[in-house]
Amino acid sequence: MRIVFRDYPLPNHPQAQPAAEAAQCANDQGKFWEYHDKLFQNQRAMEPDNLKQYATDLDLNLEAFNECVDSRKYRADVQRDLQEGKKIGVTGTPAFFINGRFLSGAQPFENFKAVIDQELGN
C-alpha cells in the first residue's frame, strides 16, 4: 500500500494556500505530519503569525522555515496539486483514491474496507 498526500487548498478559504505552503516548508525539516496536525487543530487560526508560531511550537529551525514561507518556495507545487486534483474530479476535501476508485468526503472505515476488499478480490 502507498499513501500519497496532495495539497488541495479550498478557494473559499483564503489562508488554505499559505497554510499548505507552510506545511511543505515544515516537511523540509521532517515535520510535515506534525505541522499538518497543528493546522487541523487550529483551522480558524491560520494567519501568517499563527503559521510561524506553529513552527516554533514544533521546534523547527525558524530561520529556514521563515525563509521558506516568506519566499513562497512551494507556491507552484501547491497550485500544481490543486490543478491536478481538479482534473481528476476532486471538488473538496478530503478526497481519496484507492486504485483509481474515488471516495469523496469524510468516510467511515467500512467504506474504505469495502473498496479495499473489492480491490483485493475478497
Length of the chain, in residues: 122
d(CA 25, CA 87): 25
pLDDT value at residue 58: 98
Nearest Cα neighbor of 26 from 1, 50, 61 is: 61
pLDDT above 80 for 1: no
Whether 45 contacts 38, CB under 8 Å: no
- pLDDT interval class at 70 (50, 70, 90): very high
Instruction: Name the pTM for this structure.
Output: 0.88
- Cα 68 from Cα 41, distance rounded (Å): 22
Cβ 24 vs Cβ 78: under 8 Å: yes
Domain map (residue ranges) of the chain: 11-87, 89-122
Q: How far apart are CA 39 and CA 102, in angstroms?
A: 25
* Structure confidence at residue 106 as a pLDDT band (50, 70, 90): very high
Distance separating the N- and C-terminal Cα atoms of the chain: 16
